[in-house]
């Protein structure tokens, strides 16, 4: 039997057969179906819906969804592996896989009743439907309690009015979990979560963002104009939406940490290979200390980020509170992602600044990881609060 080492919270360092299988499957898929199109999709800002249908056929759009709802029934370690392997090739696709799995699908899985799960999860897990999740608004990013999108009960329907910004799959998504104000502004009990299906009258997409990076992952506004939704689309109890969203984001932070790790690994592996091939002064540039030390720093920080992520994933699998650990993983991994991609461009030199080599895209994609699903500054607030209240 394979020996394992365990840290203070019980995380096993053994890699399961499932993980090895998932890593190989996703790596092979990404090389065949994603890598040939990376720059084409990036330049055109094209969201490849057909690719996600293929990912759904492999069970990769319902990684955490139990098999009885059409999902793969895996845990968070396998989920991390999926995101990492995709993001090593393309951060945009990794971001969309993460948002679909952990936000929309994850929210319904965690807080939907049995009827809701049976209705929506099979379609999401197979990517018959693409999912979106709406929390952020134009004037309420981190300050979510002051959101202006409202839902008012009128007979058997909630009538939703307002708009959400920076929504992944806000146009192409077939279904969205939307946080709306159903009570007093500023109250944590004044927010509820409601599911809205595409095609509902009054639900439309607004402006598509023209982004620095992650350009093949669609980001748009979602607009609600007297949008009537059946009251049975409410997830959980009225007023529980903010509490639900915070729990969803705990898992979402693992997603973005894994996305960061994949981008960092992709940039590092490209830089390592290039440093061995590129000759200057009669020798590969990897033989120069200035380059080798950059690689040493990148490798060390990537390993450290990986361990933080694995710890958080293990705690999530075991149902333990992991607010601090997921925030630490997200904060550290996203900052490592930016540093690694920056150093990769530096190692490539002038070639790294061109679109003919992969590191300039890793560089552009990396910055979103320090912003999305809670900025680095917000992660520090979360970590500090957890540490001080321990």
Distance CA 109, CA 90 (A): 27
- Tell which residue, 301, 119, 98, 262, has the closest CA to residue 195: 119
Asked about 373 being catalytic, the answer comes back as: yes
Q: Around Cβ 367, how many Cβ atoms within 10 Å?
A: 18
Specify whether the CB–CB gap between 196 and 178 falls below 8 A. Answer: yes
Q: Centre a 10 Å sphere on the Cβ of residue 46 and count the other Cβ atoms it contains.
A: 14
Of 342, 369, 345, 366, which is closest to residue 356 (Cα–Cα)? 345
DSSP annotation of 193: E
Please name every residue paired with 264 in a beta bridge, in sequence order, or none if there are none: none
Task: Please give the Cα distance from 318 to 282 (Å, whole number).
Answer: 54
Distance CA 91, CA 85 (A): 10
- The helix/strand/coil state of 14 is coil
DSSP secondary structure code for residue 43 in this structure: H
What are the structure tokens assigned to 286, written together? 């990897």
Beta carbons of 225 and 186 less than 8 angstroms apart: no
CB 88 within 8 A of CB 163: no
Instruction: Return the structure tokens found at 260.
Output: 């960061």
101 DSSP 8-state letter: I
- The catalytically annotated residue of 303, 343, 373, 386 is 373
DSSP strands (E only) in 55-138: 131-134
Count of positions (residues) in the chain:
390
Give catalytic residue positions: 373
């Amino acid at each position: 039997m394979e020996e394992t080492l365990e840290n203070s919270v019980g995380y096993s360092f053994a890699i399961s057969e499932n993980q090895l299988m998932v890593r190989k499957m996703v790596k092979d898929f990404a090389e065949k179906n994603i890598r040939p199109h990376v720059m084409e999709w990036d330049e055109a800002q094209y969201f490849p819906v057909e690719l996600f249908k293929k990912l759904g056929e492999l069970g990769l759009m319902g990684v955490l969804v139990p098999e009885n709802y059409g999902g793969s029934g895996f845990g968070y370690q396998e989920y991390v592996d999926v995101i990492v392997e995709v993001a090593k090739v393309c951060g945009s696709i990794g971001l969309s896989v993460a948002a679909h799995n952990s936000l929309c699908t994850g929210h319904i899985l965690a807080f939907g009743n049995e009827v809701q799960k049976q209705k929506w999860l099979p379609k999401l897990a197979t990517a018959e439907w693409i999912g979106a999740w709406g929390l952020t608004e134009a004037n309420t990013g981190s300050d979510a309690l002051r959101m202006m999108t409202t839902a008012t009960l009128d007979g058997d329907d909630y009538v939703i009015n307002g708009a959400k910004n920076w929504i992944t799959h806000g146009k192409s998504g077939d279904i969205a979990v939307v946080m709306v104000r159903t009570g007093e502004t500023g109250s944590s009990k004044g927010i509820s979560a409601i599911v809205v299906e595409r095609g509902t009258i009054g639900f439309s997409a607004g402006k598509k963002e023209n982004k620095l990076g992650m350009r093949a992952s669609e980001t748009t506004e979602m607009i609600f104009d007297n949008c009537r939704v059946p009251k049975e689309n409410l997830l959980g109890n009225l007023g529980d939406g903010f509490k639900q969203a915070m729990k969803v984001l705990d898992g979402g932070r693992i997603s973005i940490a894994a996305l960061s790790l994949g981008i960092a690994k992709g940039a590092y592996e490209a830089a390592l290979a290039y440093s061995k091939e590129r000759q200057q002064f009669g020798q590969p540039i990897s033989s120069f200390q200035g380059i080798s030390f950059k690689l040493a720093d990148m490798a060390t920080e990537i390993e450290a980020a990986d361990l933080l992520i694995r710890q958080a994933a293990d705690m999530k699998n075991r149902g333990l509170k992991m607010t601090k650990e997921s925030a630490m993983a997200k904060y550290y991994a996203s900052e490592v992602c930016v540093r690694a991609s920056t150093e990769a461009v530096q190692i490539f030199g002038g070639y790294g600044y061109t679109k003919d080599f992969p590191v300039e895209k890793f560089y552009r994609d990396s910055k979103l990881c320090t912003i999305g699903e809670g900025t680095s500054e917000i992660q520090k607030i979360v970590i500090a609060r957890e540490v001080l209240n321990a």
